Amino acid sequence: MLHSAIMRWFINAVALAVASLIIPGIIFNRLRDLLIASALFGVLNIFIKPVLIVLTLPINLLTLGLFTFVINAAVLGLTAALLPGFVITGFWSALGSAIVVSAVSVVLNLLLREEK
């Protein structure tokens, strides 16, 4: 259980770091801010994201799931709002970083997946 949580935190940290390198408008003041943001983003994904998915289910169905990127952008924006050392300059930066974070997370989960 602890190993899984640490791996998720690591994946979130790498994904957010890649997003900050690729997408203009995603800024971390220090490495510590990146690590805290990745942990906070993980916690918000556990508690807030499912509620947002349920509340936006009709629009998510109409867009064939693409609205999930907007929800991820909102969760990233909330993370930035709660953490002073993490800045997202606008909606398009948040949306672009949500796409990058999702893609990097999928790739890292596939590469680091444990054999069962």
Query: Is this prediction's pTM over 0.85?
Result: yes
What is residue 1's predicted lDDT score, i.e. its pLDDT?
A: 73
What is residue 40's predicted lDDT score, i.e. its pLDDT?
A: 97
- Mean of pLDDT over the chain: 94
Model pLDDT for residues 18-41, shown as the tens digit of each residue: 999 999 999 999 999 999 999 999
- In order, the DSSP letters of the chain are -HHHHHHHHHHHHHHHHHHHHHSTTEEESSHHHHHHHHHHHHHHHHHTHHHHHHHTHHHHHHTTTTHHHHHHHHHHHHHHHH-TTEEE-SHHHHHHHHHHHHHHHHHHHHHHPPP-
Q: At residue 114, does pLDDT exceed 70?
A: no
Query: Which sequence spans correspond to the domains of the chain?
Result: 2-112
Between 76 and 112, the more confident residue is 76
